[in-house]
Structure 1
Amino acid sequence: MNEKPDERRLAWAYLSTVAQGASRSLSAAIDACGVLEVAAAIRSGSPRDEFASRYAVRAHLDTAADDLERLGRVGGRLVTPDDDEWPAWQMLGFGTLDTATDAEGPPLALWVWGSRRLDELAERAVGIVGTRAASGYGEHVTAEISGDLAADGWTVVSGAAFGVDAAAHRAALGVGGATVAILACGVDRAYPAAHTTMLRRISESGLVVSEYPPGTTPARYRFLARNRLIAALSGGTVVVEAGWRSGARNTAAWARRLGRPVMAVPGPVTSAASQGCHRMIREGEARLIGTARDVVDECGKLLERDDDRDAHFTRALDGLSGDMAMVYEAFPGTGNCSPTDLAESAGLPADRVRAALPMLELEGFVESTDGGWRRT
């Protein structure tokens, strides 16, 4: 029988709405019988069918076509295990769990907002999580690590919450990097509402992702389920600040169950916001890290490309030295300046500045204009 081009996607969307989250048994049935057959059985409401009985209360919620059309209008889509961009290897860890409840499986499908491919963003990704009540220290460290990773081509994955999550996303956006926000509600709902603009910016350069269909509202159990997706789509998880009892530690626990490295940033011994990190380090649940290089050392063997890992943290500017480095650093961030201004700022004689400028121009760092010299 010939299927319509969108028939399977409609079936995945329908099951996503009916199941409202992961189901290991439902995924197994789809693998065994096919998504169309399972969706048809639930729609039919046959009392003899196990899944039809289990999902009977939501079987009438067939909004798949509307959900796909509504999300498509704003640049979103449904990514299913049928698609090339499905992050297949990241989901393999769920199959290795010895003990897991029915809800602790891989997502049936993922609703995404943004044009980037999910599999490409997840290929070299690091989860960065922590407390919502982040301290100035926590936000600073988060921005340093996230910004450095994103600038070197790593995807920063987090949960779009206040505190550490928001600092991680914003740092990645600030350096023009890619970041993925995993939501505990539909991707059409900005939660928290204060992050509406941030989530839109994430969708423009990365992705906003949820296993829940459009219109789904946040709920406590959905945040816990969301944590497993942050861990699954990341090659390693970093906890920056976490209290003694913290949702971030739940994400770290999922990373360990899925066989991914877990890292934690230490804080002041007097800080309640760092007690969870200290506990994980002390009990061997996480490796102590303080920089993006430390993160790459921990999870780089799994995620790095074949080239030299140190190259990801090497800038072209690192090759400058002597007068060339001093003159380059003397330039303002924007605008033109004269050799005289540069000499005064660098503390070098004017003739040495004039000698360094052509060399910097040959290397492509600066250029001469009618108004003087400026960085390129």
Structure 2
Amino acid sequence: MPWEERVARVALTRVAEPGDEVMGQALLDHGAGGALRAARDGVRLPRAGPERTESYALKAARADPLADLAAAGRAGARFLCPGDGDWPGQLDDLGVQRPFGLWVRGGPSLRLWALRSVAVVGARACTDYGAHMAARLGAGLASAGWAVVSGAAYGIDAVVHAGALKAGGATIGVVASGVDVPYPPGNARLIGEIAEHGLLIGELPPGDHPTRSRFVLRNRVIAALTRGTVVVEARYRSGSLITARRAAALGQVTMGVPGPCTSGLSEGVHELLRGDALVVTDAAEVVELVGEIGADLAPARRGPLLPRDRLGAAAARVLEALPGRGDAGVEEIADAAGATRGYALGRLYELQALGFVCCTDGRWALVRTDGAGPPRRGG
């Protein structure tokens, strides 16, 4: 991208809010330089009212893109533009809401990491159960070679980032402030670790602070950047649900971790699961849904293998014919199994050798164990 266009995009991060559709359309129509000149000159853009036009002009007059680039450099950050080799192409799916550019802290390639990434989001005031599940997902996805994306906020976000970092994996924090502003302050150490070992990205210029609307707008970047979005815990009115619904609208996979039916912090997740979202309980199931078809299958789920599961069909049928309590003669067992006396007796001797049944005075009974002692005759 030409230097003038890049500098103009830097300035526009001061002029318009993230996801501003009026300015986004102006970018598509006139390029960054043309959109910035229109803002400085007070030209009324299509769909822009007088107040918005005046706001553009005031902010454009104060914008100092070179100072912002210098401040970013001091913080170890760079400015990434659409068209750059490291730009994640999937962000273009946002159309007129595509970021003007992204401020990035961290050395790895954002484009490459985003190609194999999953968003994990959820409640700030999460439960112990939610934190446990988020930690498992963060560590499991990172260990499987997937970048874990979240918002670096309290609760589920912080836990999933920490889980990925502890596993030595990749994690991306998408912030609603300048990448040089640790927000929330209580997560300053974690945010620093994300920037040092992973990637910290945001749309706001250096020094800018978040607002409620910026948190909401930030969610569209999380949704578009990743292959799928997992919601761990969320109430009905939750930014995490906004992220999941935006991901679904973009054609991405949306997933939810179910919680107790009596938990208010799971009510939003359960509402998603009543729609098109899919149930997941661990990282392997997430990877199966977002990975390559047929290549990233989760292991088959089944209960514990019991000794009787190894019996052949004939022996199992005779075993089922024995009474649950007490004993029975060979003729009774044969009738119950639908077999001849000789056939049933042969299977009973087989079962006796395997320790499933015992015989006393010609009467056959199941052998039971209490988990600690030797087999004993059922009664």
What residue in structure 2 maps to residue 264 of structure 1? 256
Deviation at 1:49? 6.3
Equivalent of 2:36 in 22, 36, 39: 39
Q: Which moved more, 1:250-259 or 1:5-14?
A: 5-14
Deviations 1:240-297 (A, max 9, x none): 1112221111111111111111000011122221111112112x23111101111112
Task: Say which SS state the counterpart of residue 291 (structure 2) adopts.
Answer: helix
Equivalent of 2:110 in 110, 115, 118: 118
What residue in structure 2 maps to residue 74 of structure 1? 75
What residue in structure 1 maps to residue 305 of structure 2? none
What residue in structure 2 maps to residue 287 of structure 1? 278
What residue in structure 2 maps to residue 16 of structure 1? 13
- The CA distance in 1 between the partners of 2:158 and 2:179, in whole Å, is 16
What residue in structure 1 maps to residue 27 of structure 2? 30
1:232 to 1:47, Cα distance in 2 relative to 1, 3 A: closer
What residue in structure 1 maps to residue 120 of structure 2? 128
CA contact (8 A) 1:93 1:259 kept: no
Gapped regions of structure 2 (runs ≥ 5): 300-379
What residue in structure 1 maps to residue 66 of structure 2? 65
TM-score by length of 2: 0.73
What residue in structure 1 maps to residue 223 of structure 2? 231
Deviations 1:24-69 (A, max 9, x none): 34333323332223223333x1546668945113121222111111
Which residue identity lines up with residue 185 of structure 1 in the other structure?
A: S
- The CA distance in 1 between the partners of 2:65 and 2:92, in whole Å, is 27
Which residue identity lines up with residue 144 of structure 2 in the other structure?
A: D
1:131 to 1:243, Cα distance in 2 relative to 1, 3 A: same
Q: Which moved more, 1:190-199 or 1:21-30?
A: 21-30
Deviation at 1:92? 3.7
- The CA distance in 2 between the partners of 1:48 and 1:108, in whole Å, is 19
Deviation at 1:74? 2.3
What residue in structure 1 maps to residue 372 of structure 2? none
Q: Say whether residues 1:85 and 2:86 are aligned partners.
A: yes
- The CA distance in 2 between the partners of 1:46 and 1:167, in whole Å, is 46
Which residue identity lines up with residue 238 of structure 1 in the other structure?
A: V
Deviation at 1:82? 3.2
Identical-pair percentage: 41
What residue in structure 1 maps to residue 175 of structure 2? 183
Write out aligned runs for 1:1-376 (5 A).
6-43=3-40, 45-47=41-43, 53=53, 55-88=56-89, 90-95=90-95, 105-282=97-274, 284-301=275-292, 308-309=295-296
CA contact (8 A) 2:91 2:221 kept: no
Residue-pair matches, total: 294
Larger radius of gyration: 2
Task: Say which SS state the counterpart of residue 201 (structure 2) adopts.
Answer: strand
CA contact (8 A) 1:128 1:156 kept: yes
CA contact (8 A) 1:23 1:108 kept: no
- The CA distance in 2 between the partners of 1:292 and 1:91, in whole Å, is 24
